[in-house]
Structure 1
Amino acid sequence: MIDRPSEAVAVAIAGSIAMATAMGVGRFVLTPILPPMIDALGLNAAQAGFIASANFLGYLIGAIAAAGAGFSHDRRRWLLVGLAASALTTGAMAITGQLAVLMGLRFLGGLASAFVLVFASTMVLETLARTQRSALSSWHFAGVGIGITLSAVVVALVAAGAGDWRAQWLWSGALSLAGLAAVAWVVPKQVANAVSAGVTQDGGTGATPGAGPGLGALIAAYGLFGFGYVITATFISTMVRLGEGPEWLETAAWAVVGLAAIPSVAVWSAIAARTGAMGAFAIACLVQGVGVAVSVLLGGVLAILAAAFLLGGTFMGLTALGIAAARTASPGNPTRAIALMTAAFGVGQMIGPSIGGAMADRFGGFTAPSLAAATALVAAAVLAYTCGPGRGKVTPEA
């Protein structure tokens, strides 16, 4: 028998590494690598958007697949499969400059990252709840910010050593393989077995499945959030290059996003304890909307860094709030609820880069698409607030 504190800490650390690997690196490293890719391959903004959207299409399909009953058991195995696929597809981005192949690899990487998010989050949150160590959930979600920061550092170091975009992908893939090895070593098999033992074929805990009040509105707001954050999250480094900003700012801005994301879940958890999950969700959407608008309405280094800070300081908090609220709204089937939330988010972020890139080509810059994204975030805030700002006093530690 594993003593509960050790079990909880091990799972929280493993969750953090998994999120850093598949999300912070595998899913988001495209952002700082995109500017040299655009220059080397002669891509326009729409084509760059297609590459990003392919990843998010895979993310959407992966989230839907993860809701299937066949994946309810042996979550550790599926988590490791997802991490391996994420690492391999990340490194393989270096092998070609053909748009179709790049899109295919990003699609597979998105599929893998959805599996990692769904199974890691379910395993971690259920284990922490069972061991009464839910406060450690912030460690799990902090992994995304850690991964973003590490990927920004790796990309910057490779560029400083005269490495091109291909070398940046290869080193990112190597970093992801290290994350896979770490998770495989840290996650005890006993934990996966203990969690799976209490899960029925529908992915629940034996309770009657069903959607609680507010889940539908939460899903809609979550989808708008997906669209609202993703244009800046995809193109912020490209915005710097197109705006003729200093080259160091391309990776520095992305590092600021990661650093701000690390404590963000703990911060928004504390806010949600006072306002309720939906109230905190609404506030975070408004704050993020300001950051998205600042990225294009104000010029200079400070404006980009401020936008990066506001983006990083909110997007993982919003993700955690949504996942926790979905689990509370569907206690009989948490895996399915998380997967549905992930799918709604996936729809929003899938169309965001393609629309944003096409608008950037049409209007000669990212002002119009960024303002459209800010508007979507305001709409998400209104929807979240009107469906009940204090509903359930749910926090990311629920």
Structure 2
Amino acid sequence: MPPLSDSGADRDRQILLTALAGAIAMAVAMGLGRFFYTPVLPEMMDGLGLGPSEAGWIASANYAGYLLGAILAAWGWAEGIERKVALSALVATALLLLAMGLASDALVLAGIRFLAGLASAFVMIFTSAIVLSHGLAAAKPWVQSGHFGGVGVGISVSALMFAILVLFDGGWRLAWFLAAGLAFAGLAMVFRYLPGDVMRSGPAKKEPPLAWTRPLIALTVAYGIFGFGYIVTATFLVAIVRDGGGSSLFEAGVWLVTGLAAAPSVAYWMPAVRRIGLTNVFALGCLVEALGVGASVLLPLPFGPLIGGVLLGATFIMVTAFGLQVGRNLAGESPRRALALMTAAFGVGQILGPVVAGYLADWTGSYTWASLAAAAGLVASSAIVLGFRKS
């Protein structure tokens, strides 16, 4: 990002461009790199003859890569080179999206998704470190909302693109190719505007070992269970629509409302944070999301999936972001280690979710029990967080 003068207007422009770069990076790495699998999944299952359990294993491979990336990021090796790592991971994301459109074998697809998960973890952790540090230094709390809102923007753009493909019978392979093209376009923007390094009060240094307190342990466990609870619907929501007899356009519409609800979600939960605090909002978000997860399978089309999509979008980014912020507050002098290890716990939950859901769907013939198990996990996550708050 080119240096700007020290005038107030230029500083405001610089922080705006920083937030924009963060939002685009999250849109590419998360909205496309991680979550584009959801709207394309039903067409892939039909085209390749995949069952729910196989689709679940491919999804879990992505989350296993995300877990490995989070663990690797916790070791502090990227101090001072966060931008290089984040940009390299974005390049990998675009190439792996392209590769998804070329592959047909389930094992190859799982391998590609594993590497995509690794890349998305690096982008999320290191881009967030850069962007959020600049927002904090500039005393601009809206930077966090804009940064994480990029996930919802990426989901919305991918849903619109997929709807257009449905209208023109483009097929699932073309969908992956177009997603790769969007990712390369986004990469160019991030390369132009992402700042060079994390804002620090002194030279880059390795964080001390993380001090595990009881509240931090409880939060990390709850965060992992939340990963299990949200990912079932985030992976299979469009497949639930297909299973219930919904059209391909309705599938895209459900994913679109999910993204539209997600994009501003961090911002519109902020008044609740000021009123009742981060921890209570985290717990409340888990409960609201549990209602959506249950509604997606218990209410008939079109209401169930639409309500499920809106409540999923309204909560999952917010709970993810605010959970990390609570962890940062509990981490003392080791905030990045806490962020990475909480993300690792989150990753474990995400790995288990699609596998368990896939087998339950194969066993029962529907996604109902899998979704109810996910909803129960979200309720448990809320209860654990509220328990440690009271302690």
| TM-score, reference length from structure 1 | 0.93
Amino acid in the other structure paired with 1:295: S
Amino acid in the other structure paired with 2:370: P
Q: Which residue of 1 aligns with 2:236?
A: 235
**Is residue 140 from structure 1 mapped to residue 147 from structure 2 by the alignment?**
yes
**Is residue 381 from structure 1 mapped to residue 376 from structure 2 by the alignment?**
no
Q: Which residue of 1 aligns with 2:307?
A: 306
What is the distance in 2 between the residues matched to 1:282 and 1:290?
A: 13
Q: Any idea what SS the aligned residue of 2:130 has?
A: helix
Out of 87, 90, 107, the residue aligned to residue 83 of structure 1 is 90
Out of 168, 175, 184, the residue aligned to residue 182 of structure 2 is 175
Q: Which residue of 1 aligns with 2:130?
A: 123
**Is residue 30 from structure 1 mapped to residue 24 from structure 2 by the alignment?**
no
Displacement after TM superposition at 1:70 (Å): 1.2
**Is residue 42 from structure 1 mapped to residue 49 from structure 2 by the alignment?**
yes
Displacement after TM superposition at 1:158 (Å): 1.9
Displacement after TM superposition at 1:270 (Å): 2.0
Out of 144, 151, 156, the residue aligned to residue 149 of structure 1 is 156
Give the 3 Å change call, closer, same or farther, for CA 138–308 of structure 1 in structure 2. Answer: same
Q: Percent identity?
A: 44
Q: Which residue of 1 aligns with 2:12?
A: 5
Q: Any idea what SS the aligned residue of 1:388 has?
A: helix
Aligned CA-pair RMSD: 1.6
Q: Which residue of 1 aligns with 2:227?
A: 226
Q: Which residue of 2 aligns with 1:352?
A: 353
Amino acid in the other structure paired with 2:204: V
State the Cα deviation string for residues 106-138 of structure 1 (Å, max 9, x = none): 000000000011011111111111122223210
Contact 1:74 1:193 in 2 (8 A): no
Q: Any idea what SS the aligned residue of 1:156 has?
A: helix
Larger mean Cα displacement after TM superposition, 122-131 or 316-325: 122-131
Contact 1:88 1:173 in 2 (8 A): yes
Q: Which residue of 1 aligns with 2:69?
A: 62
| TM-score, reference length from structure 2 | 0.95
Q: Any idea what SS the aligned residue of 2:50 has?
A: coil
What is the distance in 1 between the residues matched to 2:383 and 2:35?
A: 28
**Is residue 186 from structure 1 mapped to residue 193 from structure 2 by the alignment?**
yes
**Is residue 263 from structure 1 mapped to residue 268 from structure 2 by the alignment?**
no
Amino acid in the other structure paired with 2:382: A
Amino acid in the other structure paired with 2:375: A
Q: Any idea what SS the aligned residue of 2:180 has?
A: helix
What is the distance in 2 between the residues matched to 1:282 and 1:64?
A: 25
Amino acid in the other structure paired with 1:375: A
Contact 1:75 1:196 in 2 (8 A): no
Displacement after TM superposition at 1:72 (Å): 1.8
Displacement after TM superposition at 1:79 (Å): 0.7
Displacement after TM superposition at 1:46 (Å): 0.2
Displacement after TM superposition at 1:193 (Å): 6.1
Contact 1:61 1:111 in 2 (8 A): yes
Gaps of 5+ in 2: none
Contact 2:134 2:198 in 1 (8 A): no
State the Cα deviation string for residues 335-358 of structure 1 (Å, max 9, x = none): 111111111110001110011011
What is the distance in 2 between the residues matched to 1:122 and 1:272?
A: 22
Give the 3 Å change call, closer, same or farther, for CA 258–177 of structure 1 in structure 2. Answer: same
**Is residue 201 from structure 1 mapped to residue 206 from structure 2 by the alignment?**
yes
What is the distance in 1 between the residues matched to 2:388 and 2:130?
A: 29
Contact 1:55 1:109 in 2 (8 A): yes
What is the distance in 2 between the residues matched to 1:143 and 1:331?
A: 28
What is the distance in 2 between the residues matched to 1:7 and 1:118?
A: 21
Contact 1:291 1:307 in 2 (8 A): yes
